[in-house]
A = this chain, B = another copy of it.
Amino acid sequence: MSVGLDALFSPRSIALIGASDDSTRIGGRPLKYLRGSGFAGPVYPVNPRRETVQGERAYASIVDLPTVPDLALLAVPAAATRQAVEDCASAGVKAATIFAAGFAEMGEEGKAEQARIVAAARASGLRLLGPNCLGAADAASGYYGTFSVMLDDGFLTPGPVAIVSQSGAYGSHIAQLARNRCMGIRHWITTGNECDVDVAEALRWVVERDEVKVVMTYAEGVRNRASFFEALDIARRRGIGVVMLKVGRSEAGAHAVGSHTAALAGSDVVFDAICRQYGVYRARSTAEQIDVAYALSRAGVPSGNTLGIFSMSGGLGIQMADDGDAAGLEITPMPAAAQAELKALLPYASPVNPVDATAQAMTDLPLMTRYIQVVLEQGGYDMFVAILGTTPALPSYSARLAEALEAAGDGNGIIRAVTMSAPVETVRAYEARGFLVFEDSVALTRALGALVTFRGSFARAAAATSEMPALPAPFTRTGALSEHSAKALLADAGIPFPRECLAATPDDAAAAAKAIGFPVVLKICSPDVPHKTDVGGVLVGLKDEAAVRAGAALLVERALAAVPDARVEGVLVAPMIGGGAEVIAGISIDAALGPVVMFGLGGVFVEVLKDVTFRAVPFSVEEAHRMIAETSAAVVLKGVRGATPGDIDALAETLAALSRFAAANEAGLAGVDINPIRVMPAGEGVVPLDALVLLAE
């Protein structure tokens, strides 16, 4: 399979079908680019109506070529595409890029034609990129299988960045912006309609390249979640940062996605949670995507999350401290001895952090150097920033200032940055001296915060796998299970329900209650009464055998009155359990992303504030802890107002168990609710009180 992808993304030989003599046209640009870039392999122009194309010999057909090329670029109209694909398939070409638009994005007829093209390719194993795409490039080999006009400005410079974008326009746009930032781009891939290769598969190919450190990716939805998750997992394990822009967050956006592509947008809040789970940095804007990729490609990940700030203006230092704090960085104070040394150098400086050397430092550059040196060498920071404002824009100052900064050393590998507003040549000069350069403190601190996040997710990659127990497969019928059956199923999967008893008769119920201890709860147990309280199917606080006996009879009566042919399994007798904080958990099946475990604090938090989070399944106990920490439950379970902290460990074990259950049984499940779960004080576990399991129809 990788052979076809290698051919698509980094071919050794190329045929250009529909080659044009006009180098500004779709059929002309790729040839011009491939010649201009010095691509070393053969490139065969194919055009039955011409002897030559752009001064080169043109071939009448793909069968006339001296060798079978790895890749065919199809610069032919939509109507001629199927024939071209068939020709490539019979010739034994490994892959083809389809530039033409007018397929699935155009409605039913286009969709059908696209399907026929895929079928024609599949027979011979021919892999397809597009249609309706801008193609791909590999800057190292000079492979430019694209007609993107961005190359009118020059070719890409190879570097540690890759771009994988469903949208060709967006892919060109961020490539341009990245170039303006002097970022080296090695692989550039656009997938268009994704009739065969999608963003996930391209991403997977890219994150297996050793030369790639950062991928900027853009998608409107996920078509194949298994390969998407796999790509993200590989990226994380290999320490490659994925910086993603996914659109369709808003209703208007989701609507537009629907009208634009056939991709399933999925639930955006689930997508967001899964990005956190896999350590993908989801950028909120193009600017942020570029900023984060810039920082990661140049600086890598820091060894921790502390930031030392050097300023020459109190106000700008405070602003940076605020912004760093908001981005999750720690602005720890300088050690006392270092503070004393700085004070001795300049009595009216502020030596804590932000370290403010005042405007004095501008007129005494050796002093500035010494100041920065003390911060770098004695501050113990993981990251450092010097706030330079508009000063470097003054030509008389720029170079001397850069030298003074560089003279302070690199603090033994600390990530060093400056903020400044200056012409691009000045920015380049500071970058050449090893500094990240940002104009804005929010953009810088957010990017540094992203590096810290990557550090965490790269570090925990190894722990993310988990074992899946073999579960019974009781899915002999569909729809809801009774509470008792649901609990039995989930208990086998490791969910710790309290002791309870299914009683077939009022006398059995009374005996069970006596054994459990009064007071007890009675609940009707029937797969046909999934919402028990709606029919008065729950009685609480029953204090003696007589009450239980009468209650059991009443519940059956009520259930049958509400649902006359309900299959009543009996009455559940359970202990009254109070105390602890109420949370809820469940499994839902996301249309695009598959089974996910949901978790939230119970009651108004879920109902009103939608304060819930999600994870793709299965996940580790460690991941469950991170999941809990994302919700208000984290604060409540820590123990509010002197209350005992809750048993967060037991809760995390339960969520991880639920995730394994979901993963093992995803084919048969429609949904699970465990609501409420009482989280008891630390060491006393969790007590799930009710469960609903819906099987797939």
Could you list which residues of chain A lie within 8 angstroms of chain B, going by C-beta atoms? 101-102, 105-107, 149-150, 152-153, 165-170, 172-173, 176-177, 180, 218, 220, 245, 247-253, 255-257, 259-261, 284-288, 312-319, 321-326, 331, 347-348, 350, 352-354, 356, 358-359, 389-391, 393-394, 421, 439-443, 604, 607-609, 632, 635-636, 640-641
Q: Are B284 and A352 in contact (CB under 8 A)?
A: no
Q: Are B316 and A260 in contact (CB under 8 A)?
A: no
Residue from B286, B441, B443 within 8 A of A319 (CB atoms): B286
Q: Are A253 and B632 in contact (CB under 8 A)?
A: no
Query: What are 13 pairs between A and B in contact, CB < 8 Å?
Result: A153-B393, A167-B315, A169-B312, A169-B313, A170-B319, A177-B390, A253-B319, A253-B321, A260-B314, A284-B442, A285-B323, A287-B442, A287-B443
Q: Are B390 and A172 in contact (CB under 8 A)?
A: yes
Q: Are A394 and B260 in contact (CB under 8 A)?
A: no
Q: Which chain B residue has the least Cβ–Cβ distance from A180?
A: B421
Residue from B165, B257, B353, B358 within 8 A of A101 (CB atoms): B358
Q: Are B169 and A442 in contact (CB under 8 A)?
A: no
Q: Are A390 and B173 in contact (CB under 8 A)?
A: yes
Question: How long is the Cα–Cα vector from A608 to B633 in the complex, in angstroms?
Answer: 10
Q: Are B152 and A394 in contact (CB under 8 A)?
A: yes
A694 to chain B minimum Cβ distance, whole angstroms, is 21
Question: How long is the Cα–Cα vector from A186 to B284 in the complex, in angstroms?
Answer: 35
Residue from B105, B150, B608 within 8 A of A635 (CB atoms): B608
Instruction: Point out which of A318, A323, A393, A442 has the most chain B C-beta atoms below 10 A from its C-beta.
Output: A318
A301 to chain B minimum Cβ distance, whole angstroms, is 22
Instruction: Point out which of A259, A288, A314 has the most chain B C-beta atoms below 10 A from its C-beta.
Output: A314
A643 to chain B minimum Cβ distance, whole angstroms, is 10
Given contacts A253-B319, A358-B101, A607-B640, contact A176 B348 (CB under 8 A): no
Q: Are B252 and A325 in contact (CB under 8 A)?
A: yes
Q: Are B172 and A318 in contact (CB under 8 A)?
A: no
A33 to chain B minimum Cβ distance, whole angstroms, is 16
Q: Are A607 and B177 in contact (CB under 8 A)?
A: no
Q: Are B608 and A326 in contact (CB under 8 A)?
A: no
Question: How long is the Cα–Cα vector from A370 to B631 in the complex, in angstroms?
Answer: 49
**B residues near A247, Cβ cutoff 8 Å:** 315, 318-319, 321-322
Q: Are A313 and B167 in contact (CB under 8 A)?
A: yes
Given contacts A169-B316, A635-B608, contact A251 B421 (CB under 8 A): no
**B residues near A285, Cβ cutoff 8 Å:** 323, 440-443
Question: How long is the Cα–Cα vector from A172 to B393 in the complex, in angstroms?
Answer: 12
Q: Are B394 and A256 in contact (CB under 8 A)?
A: no
Q: Which chain B residue has the least Cβ–Cβ distance from A442?
A: B285
Question: How long is the Cα–Cα vector from A177 to B441 in the complex, in angstroms?
Answer: 14
Residue from B106, B257, B350, B635 within 8 A of A318 (CB atoms): B257
Given contacts A443-B287, A636-B604, contact A249 B322 (CB under 8 A): yes
Question: How long is the Cα–Cα vector from A314 to B393 in the complex, in angstroms?
Answer: 39
**B residues near A218, Cβ cutoff 8 Å:** 315
19 other contacts beyond A152-B394, A177-B390, A247-B321, with CB at 8 A cut-off? A153-B393, A172-B389, A176-B421, A247-B315, A249-B325, A249-B326, A250-B326, A252-B322, A256-B318, A256-B350, A256-B356, A285-B440, A287-B439, A287-B440, A287-B443, A608-B636, A608-B640, A609-B632, A609-B635
A3 to chain B minimum Cβ distance, whole angstroms, is 30
Residue from B152, B180, B256, B391 within 8 A of A354 (CB atoms): B256
Residue from B106, B169, B288 within 8 A of A348 (CB atoms): B106
**B residues near A323, Cβ cutoff 8 Å:** 285
Q: Are A325 and B251 in contact (CB under 8 A)?
A: yes
**B residues near A249, Cβ cutoff 8 Å:** 322, 325-326
A258 to chain B minimum Cβ distance, whole angstroms, is 10
Question: How long is the Cα–Cα vector from A166 to B251 in the complex, in angstroms?
Answer: 42
Q: Are B253 and A316 in contact (CB under 8 A)?
A: no
**B residues near A102, Cβ cutoff 8 Å:** 348
Question: How long is the Cα–Cα vector from A249 to B259 in the complex, in angstroms?
Answer: 42
Given contacts A440-B286, A636-B608, contact A393 B173 (CB under 8 A): no
Q: Are B105 and A348 in contact (CB under 8 A)?
A: yes
Given contacts A152-B394, A390-B172, A441-B285, contact A604 B251 (CB under 8 A): no
Question: How long is the Cα–Cα vector from A640 to B607 in the complex, in angstroms?
Answer: 8
**B residues near A356, Cβ cutoff 8 Å:** 256, 259-260
Q: Are A250 and B315 in contact (CB under 8 A)?
A: no
A335 to chain B minimum Cβ distance, whole angstroms, is 16
Q: Are B259 and A169 in contact (CB under 8 A)?
A: no
Q: Which chain B residue has the least Cβ–Cβ distance from A268?
A: B322
A595 to chain B minimum Cβ distance, whole angstroms, is 26
Q: Are A260 and B318 in contact (CB under 8 A)?
A: yes
Question: How long is the Cα–Cα vector from A136 to B140 in the complex, in angstroms?
Answer: 54
Residue from B101, B250, B316 within 8 A of A170 (CB atoms): B316
Q: Are A286 and B149 in contact (CB under 8 A)?
A: no
Residue from B180, B260, B352 within 8 A of A255 (CB atoms): B352
Residue from B256, B312, B353 within 8 A of A321 (CB atoms): B256
Q: Are A421 and B325 in contact (CB under 8 A)?
A: no
Q: Are A261 and B314 in contact (CB under 8 A)?
A: yes
**B residues near A288, Cβ cutoff 8 Å:** 442
Question: How long is the Cα–Cα vector from A286 to B153 in the complex, in angstroms?
Answer: 31
A356 to chain B minimum Cβ distance, whole angstroms, is 7
Q: Which chain B residue has the least Cβ–Cβ distance from A245?
A: B319
Question: How long is the Cα–Cα vector from A252 to B354 in the complex, in angstroms?
Answer: 8
